[in-house]
Amino acid sequence: MTARRQFSLFDKLITNADQALRTLVPGAATAERASPAQSREYSELSEQERQHAAGLMRINHTGEVCAQALYQGQALTAKLPEVREAMEEAAEEEIDHLVWCEERIKDLGSHTSRLNPAFYALSFGIGAIAGKISDKVSLGFVAATEEQVCSHLSKHMTSLPTQDEKSKAVLLQMLEDEAKHATTAIEAGGKRFPLPVKMGMTALSKVMTKATYRI
């Protein structure tokens, strides 16, 4: 039986620094799956529609930046090895979403949010604190966060220009994946957060969406 390798705190910090760079530097991350947008035909958008679609996809991209940071922070402080591995695996799966959103934003002639480094740092800290408290809280935070993401994705699906099938295809696959992550986190023992906590998370997410729509 192969012994599980034990990583020092320094090793973990180096790994997290590498992940942060891959998340924040445009074009640094690589998706395992092809973007769903590739299977949809190009549709002409007006300048106003293009800017609106880009703004929504920028919000979703920043959401994925936050997800990466959250998972990495949780993995750093998770107590059980299986929970740590689950966090790291979820972060890898979320990279696809990160890359898809970035590609779509580029196709729309726009840019990712300049506020991403700040949101990454904030989310990493929240994830590390949640993991430090307990694995149940950490997993519960994943579930609650994914529920918030699913809510945003559903709203954006209806807000996108009708003919923007490429962006919709990306969001549809993301919605399916995020819902699965939320369910998996609860089934793994995650604590269901009370309504006041979820309301606080919703208020924080509104700050993020308003700030990143244009910046």
Annotated binding site for Fe cation: 64, 94, 97, 146, 178, 181
Report the distance separating Cα 6 and Cα 77, nearest Å.
14
Report the distance separating Cα 83 and Cα 138, nearest Å.
9
Chain-centre distance of CA 113, in angstroms?
14
Dihedral sign (CA 183, 154, 23, 211): negative
Residue with tokens 């726009």: 110
Query: Which residues contribute to the annotated binding site?
Result: 64, 94, 97, 146, 178, 181
What tokens appear for 146 in the block?
């994914």
Report the distance separating Cα 20 and Cα 14, nearest Å.
10
